[in-house]
Amino acid sequence: MDQTIQLAFRIAMVWAAGFLIAVTVRALLPNQAGITLTGHQGSLFIPFSRIGFWICLLAALTVTGLVVGRAILADIGWSSFR
């Protein structure tokens, strides 16, 4: 039970940090700075603030998946993951 609470706490901390960093990145970067993707039918402007926001959220998802995967492997008996 102690490991489950510790795992839940770690995941909550990663998500909170990910959201704080994502919101900070979105607030600090100007909307006029970004990259433009051009195609056959037109162009698409993607601001750096949105790229940073989604990268921070993707990092939180990745860390959550790794922590949960490690916990699952430890539960099935792989002792090197503890």
Whether the pLDDT of residue 13 is over 80: the answer is: yes
Tokens of 49: 């603030």
What integer pLDDT is reported at residue 63 of this predicted model?
77
Domain assignment present for 55: yes
Q: Whole domain around residue 59: which residue ranges?
A: 50-77
The pLDDT of residue 62 is: 82
Reading the block at residue 63, the tokens are 């860390």
Q: How far is CA 10 from the centre of its chain?
A: 14
Q: Is residue 34 part of a domain?
A: no
State how many domains the chain has.
1
Contact criterion met (CB below 8 Å) for 28 and 56: no
Q: Residue 21: its pLDDT value, please?
A: 78
pLDDT at 65: 80
Residue written as tokens 């102690």? 2
Decide if 16 is inside a domain. Answer: no
- Write out pLDDT tens, residues 16-68: 887 787 778 777 777 677 788 888 888 888 777 677 777 777 877 887 787 77
CA 19 to chain CA centroid, nearest Å? 8
Contact 22, 57 (CB under 8 A): yes
Return the residue matching tokens 């539960």.
Answer: 75
